[in-house]
Amino acid sequence: MNIPQELKYTKDHEWVRVEGTRAVVGITDYAQHELGDIVFIEVPAVGKQVKAHGNLSVVESVKAVSDIYAPVSGTVVEVNEALNDRPEVVNQDPYGEGWLAVIELEDASELEGLLSADAYRALTEGGK
């Protein structure tokens, strides 16, 4: 399983790449693997206000429909529109072309509550 060291993670299997005052968000390799083939992703609207742990989006796979939670609070300033036509990109490249949204951080201190790569690996290997 691919867990890039430079990213932060949530217990709900979202990842965060911090770029200044913005957070690029997606679902992890573990999540996409558990979901199976992704057939639809509801990308959030630009301008949507989100709270940490609140609903950001929905992903539908051949196995299940699952909520995607915002790892941080802020405003959605960019979304990956390509996922509307090619949701399977999340299965193929979850940390690259499969990113979901960019959130302008409301409170950067929330990043401290996210998991490191090592902590996230321990979580997933523990079967949780």
Give the pLDDT confidence score for residue 127 in this predicted structure.
54
Low-confidence stretches of the chain (pLDDT < 50) are 128
Q: How many CA atoms lie within 13 A of 39 on its CB side?
A: 7
Residue 127 covered by a domain: no
In a domain, 114, yes or no: no
The predicted model scores a pTM of 0.94
In a domain, 59, yes or no: yes
**Dihedral pair phi/psi, residue 125, rounded to 5°:** -75, -15
Q: Which residue has the tokens 């968000």?
A: 25
- CATH assignment at residue 94: 2.40.50.100
Which distant-in-sequence residues (6+ apart) come within 8 Å of 126 by Cβ?
none
pLDDT cut 70: percent of the chain above it = 98
* Overall number of domains in the chain: 1
**Whole-number pLDDT of residue 87:** 96
